[in-house]
Amino acid sequence: MTMPAKAPEKVNVAIVQMTCSTVKQENVDKAVAKIAEAAKLGANIVCLQELFAGQYPCQEEDHLKFQEAEPIPGPASEAVQAAAAKHGVVVIASLFEKRAEGLYHNTAVIFDADGTQLGIYRKMHIPDDPHYYEKFYFTPGDLGFRSFQTKFGRVGVCVCWDQWFPEAARLTALTGAQMLFYPTAIGWLVDEKDEYGDAQVSAWETMMRSHAIANGVFVCAPNRVGLEGTIEFWGHSFVSDPNGNLLKVGSHDQEEILVVECNLAQIDFARTHWPFLRDRRIDAYSGLTKRYLDEGAL
């Protein structure tokens, strides 16, 4: 029996931050070109930003926006799949999925380097904030937290709002993920940027760097850039190592492909020096399955 090839220890990860137009095919074509460019730069794994095939649709509650969704497989995912196979890279792509009539998800699809679809992850945490009205559009994911064995390592995928929840990162890491990818669409509301902008970016970055440290994994976050409606997407895509060090950070306003070498051997080193997984008190965490611990609940 032929044994599968062992994934290399050193993997080049590319995260793509780009602007999006109102024309879907333009965005898909741009993403395919970015995958090709990332591969040329030496990438093994390429992750696109959240909902890369269009402008962010959730700034208002508009039934016409459902027309932007498509099934998986569908035209956008098939274009990305072909690019993965053509260039020999793993690709993670976030899409507006039409699962059935009246049933839609915010879904990431994962393709191996030969174009094989390894699976999908449906966004579990769905926000409902001013100009981020995702609950109107998306049904919460029902597949749980997952990771996928690729040619270049085991990747875990969550999506945007998931990144604020340590439970999501932990459960994904516990499936064996070596790298956590967070396709993202986050930005400033134009009238809030001056007062809150720096603090918002700092909180976002700090939260995900904490996931890297607490779980001993690489964290990779591609975010979009550009002004869409009342949101100025702030870019600042980055990759963090298992110690929380920023390996590379994107600008706030330019399209960029960040290619970063990730040495997966760092994971065991980090986890044996900071043995958080060893010291978890799994016998004492039943409260995490409750909404809130009222007095005397335990």
CATH architecture of 10-289: 4-Layer Sandwich (3.60)
Q: Give the residue numbers marked as catalytic.
A: 50, 123, 160
pLDDT at 294: 85
pLDDT at 32: 98
pLDDT at 13: 98
User: Quick one: CA dihedral 79, 252, 14, 205, positive or negative?
Assistant: negative
Rounded Cα–Cα distance for residues 205 and 189 (Å): 18
Rounded Cα–Cα distance for residues 76 and 32 (Å): 10
pLDDT at 297: 56
Tens-digit pLDDT string for the chain (298 aa): 555 567 779 999 999 999 999 999 999 999 999 999 999 999 999 999 999 999 999 999 999 999 999 999 999 999 999 999 999 999 999 999 999 999 999 999 999 999 999 999 999 999 999 999 999 999 999 999 999 999 999 999 999 999 999 999 999 999 999 999 999 999 999 999 999 999 999 999 999 999 999 999 999 999 999 999 999 999 999 999 999 999 999 999 999 999 999 999 999 999 999 999 999 999 999 999 999 998 665 5
Relative to beta strand 153-157, strand 179-181 is parallel
pLDDT at 2: 52
Cα 298 to chain center, whole Å?
35
Q: Is 3 exposed, middle or buried (0-12, 13-18, 19+ CB in 10 A)?
A: exposed
Rounded Cα–Cα distance for residues 216 and 146 (Å): 17
Rounded Cα–Cα distance for residues 79 and 92 (Å): 12
Domain boundaries along the sequence of the chain? 10-289
pLDDT at 7: 74
